[in-house]
Structures are given as structure tokens and as C-alpha cells.
Amino acid sequence: MNPIKTDVLVIGAGSAGLSVAAGASQMGADVVLLEGHKMGGDCLNYGCVPSKALIASAKAAHACTQSAPLGIANQTPSVDYAAVMDHVAQVIARIAPVDSQERFEGLGVLVIRDFGRFVSPTEVQAGDHRITARRIVIATGSSPLVPPIPGLDTVPYLTNETLFDLRERPDHLLIIGGGPIGVEMAQAHARLGCKVTVIEGMTALAKDDPDFATAVLDTLRTEGVSIQEAAMAAEIRGEAGAIEVEAKDGRIFRGSHLLMAVGRKANTDKLNLEAAEIETTKSGIKVDARMRTSNRRVFAIGDIAGGLQFTHVAGYQAGIILRPVLFGLPAKAGVSHIPWATYTDPELAQVGLSQAEAQEVHGDRAEVATFAYDENDRAIAERKTTGKIKVMVVRGRPVGATIVGHRAGDLISLWSLAIANNLKMSQIAGMVAPYPTYGEINKRAAGAYFSPRLFDNPRVKQVVGLIQKWLP
């Protein structure tokens, strides 16, 4: 048995854990990092990075079929699916050194490639190592949720952890789950030449603004994706290359491959949390606003904490807990300024309150300012005019924004900044965006908030008229 004493023990080398380990070590703490699987976690190896690389290939293929309006003859792309997956692997390999064991050892972190298991409130066992730490950070992330659908265990199926290992293009991909992962992979595979059916038990993209979600789903349908809603899977049967999914209402969907995309589950199984006196919930580990668990020496961040499951949230929470972990200073994590995006085409992005939430919380005080992409000159020039922005405003300050359209994921960042810093709409309106850019959409949305106050206000016109009479 090899005893180790350290200042900070980080369990899990995904986005959250790596951020803590790097920050703590570079600021002088003694850090031990445990990882029993792949450095970089889900985001690098199975999630954000490979999915966006695949989407990039799909966009390139789709562009060949949509270039006629720009004066370039449409073409049917020749898709080499194996080469597409080579591109995905190359992107992962390009980013991997940033998350590698070698890099973190170079930062002074002791990296142990094994799973950690609590043996007491302050001790963790990892292989032959028993580690005692002043502060422990759990960042073990999440895994694909595979529901107990009758027959699922008898057929081959894919998750995001195995999808990118495919070398041959699926003939007909069935996707159970109409959330962000499901619709992203549906559109990407349709653009790469697959038949695709999305099977959603309730409503696709149900967590997003319904009008804006409809814009995305209508585009997918136009591109040939079959989206079947209110189709709760009741039974799955078949074999490789011939799989059937039967819904509770009797509908039967047939395809060659099956992708499960119904959500995520927190990775708590290996931790032996009872020994550490750490409470859990249905969605993960119970934490307070400071990301502390019921064991005050232990913090939990990222997907394991049961909140918003995004890489940027994990990174944000890592930054928050460095203050209490390293300096003993209080710090709380907020959620009102956390944005998220679905990387379909058009993209769908949200931060803060939706229109329905703003009206429920603030009633008549909630106002909505909108601006359409088809009034933006850059969007017109590039024929990317499908889209709209909606900003929820209370007493002159934005409390939420929803965007559907080209580069919505980039545009939403400004509204996150505004909400995080309690900015006024007048400050957004005062911004100068270069012309012509999509960034003007944000400024024009702010302008739309003030337009009725300035241009449709009789008093303003009266005052201007009087002043003009007195001006020399």
C-alpha cells in the first residue's frame, strides 16, 4: 500500500477535473489527479469534440447541394464515411495533448491512472494508492443513459461512446431521443447520406423555446429527417442491419442501426460515496451553491453535480471552487448567465430566462425585443436568413435571450456577458458592431427594444418639434 498526502485530490480528468488540477497546481497547491479511463473525459473523446468534427463534415457535404443560389452549380457530394471518421479522430488527436497526462505532469500534478473509491470521509483508494487530501474534488462526469426498454439488450446499439467508431455509413439510422444530441446527429448523418428517423417519446427539443425549436425541426424535415414525436419506445427487436423499434401506440420503425440518445446519468457507481458521507440525488451528487457536498471537505462539479450538463459549465464551476479550495474564501456558482447551444443548422442558443419563464416570473414587467435574420445584410449576402433573436427585458435589463439561426452559439455570448454583469439594454445599443456582420443582430435587437419608445412616442416627437423651433 502506497500512502499519499496531498492538498487537493481531483477525481476525474474530464473538463472540470482538468481545469481544477491545472489551476490549483499552477497556483502552488500539491495536486493528485485520478483518471481510470481516458484523459479529457467525455467531451474530448466522445462528446463535444467528435460531434462537432462530424457536423463540420456534414456541413461541407450539404454545402455542395445548396450552392446554386450563390451562382455555383449544385453537386451531389461523394461521401467517404470512413474518411469522415478519420477526420473526427484527427481532430481528437490534435486537441488531446492539451488534456494529456504528460502535460499535467509537466504542470506538477501527480497523475494516477486508476479509478478512485472513498474509504473514509478524507481518504480515497486508487489501485495500490491510499490518498489523504485536505480537499477533494469529484469530477467524474456522466455516461449515456440506456433505459430498460424490452429487447434492447438483445440487439446491437450505439451510444455517443461508440458512434464514432463506425467505419461504414449506416443505411438507415434510428435515433431514440429527440434532444440536442439526437437532433445534431440526425441532421449530420442525413447530410452524409443516411436515412434517419428520430423517435421521441414526447416532444423533440422540448427544453427550448417552442417556436424556435420548430424552426430547427422544420429544417431537419426538409432535409429528409423523419421526426416521430409522441412515440415512446415499447419494444426493440431484430439483429445487426435489421432493427425494429415499436412504439407504445403500435407504430413500428425499421432501420439498420440504432443510436440511443435519451440523456445522461451521473458516474457515481465506483465512488463508494457512503464511506465519505456524501448524499446523492436522482441526478447526481447533492451540492450547495458553493458546489460543496454534504461532506464539507469534498466538492462536486460538472455533470456529476446534477445540474446543467455542458463542458463550459464544468469549466465555470472549476473556476468557482478554486477560491474555497485554495484560499478558503466563499464563492457561489450562478446559473442565470449560463448559455447553451444546439449545433444544428440553424443553430439554437439560449441564455437566462425563456419568454415563457420571464413572463411567469416577472409578469407584465417582462418585455420582448425581437429582430429577424432576414433583415441582417450579412445574412442576406450569405443566404443564411432563416433565424430570429428574442431578448427578454425587465426594467431595461436583459434577463434572457433566445437565438435560432446561423452562428447563434457565437451570438449568445454577448447576452451571457450582459446578464452576468447586469448590463442595461442601452449599453448593448451603444455597442458598435462592424458592418456587415452577424454581430449586428444583437445590436439591432437592442435597438428594437428602444424603437417604440423613441419613434412611436408622441411626446418625443413633440419635444423634438419644440427644440427644433429654438435651435439656431
Q: How many CB atoms lie within 10 A of CB 221?
A: 12
User: Which stretches of 209-306 are DSSP H helices?
Assistant: 210-222
Query: Which percentage of the chain shows pLDDT scores above 70?
Result: 100
Q: Which CATH number characterizes residue 419's domain? A: 3.30.390.30
142: nearest Cα among 31, 321, 282: 282
Q: Residue 168: which of 179, 177, 176, 158 has the closest Cα?
A: 158
Pair 196, 175: CB distance under 8 Å = yes
Cβ-contact 382, 345 below 8 angstroms: no
User: Whats the size of the chain, residue-wise?
Assistant: 472
Task: Indicate whether 472 belongs to any domain.
Answer: no
Q: What is the per-residue pLDDT across 156-166, written as a single tens digit (0 to 9) for each?
A: 999 999 999 99
Tell me: do 279 and 140 sit in the same domain: yes
Give the total number of structural domains in the chain.
Answer: 3
Residue 189 domain flag: yes
pLDDT band at 471 (very low <50, low <70, confident <90, very high): confident
Structural domain boundaries, residue 433 = 339-455
**113: DSSP letter:** -
The reply to whether 292 and 187 lie within a common domain is: no
Q: Say what the pTM is.
A: 0.94
Confidence grade of residue 468 (pLDDT, cut at 50, 70, 90) = confident
Q: Taking 80 as the threshold, does the pLDDT of residue 455 lie above it? A: no
Same domain for 187 and 121?
no
Share the mean pLDDT of the chain.
Answer: 96
Residues 166-182 have pLDDT tens digits of 999 999 999 999 999 99
In a domain, 85, yes or no: no
Mean pLDDT on 190-196: 98
Q: How confident is the model at residue 217 (pLDDT cuts 50, 70, 90)?
A: very high
Cell numbers 461512446: residue: 161
The stretch 132-161 carries a mean pLDDT of 97
- Rg over CA atoms, the chain: 25
Asked whether the bond before 148 is cis by omega within 30 degrees of 0, the reply is no
Residues 188 and 236 in one domain: yes
Give yes or no: residues 197 and 289 share one domain: no
Of 217, 243, 262, the last residue of a domain is 262
List, for residues 52-79, the tens digit of each pLDDT value.
999 999 999 999 999 999 999 999 999 9
pLDDT digits (tens, 9 = 90+) for 318-342: 999 999 999 999 999 999 999 999 9
The set of cell numbers assigned to 122 is: 478524507
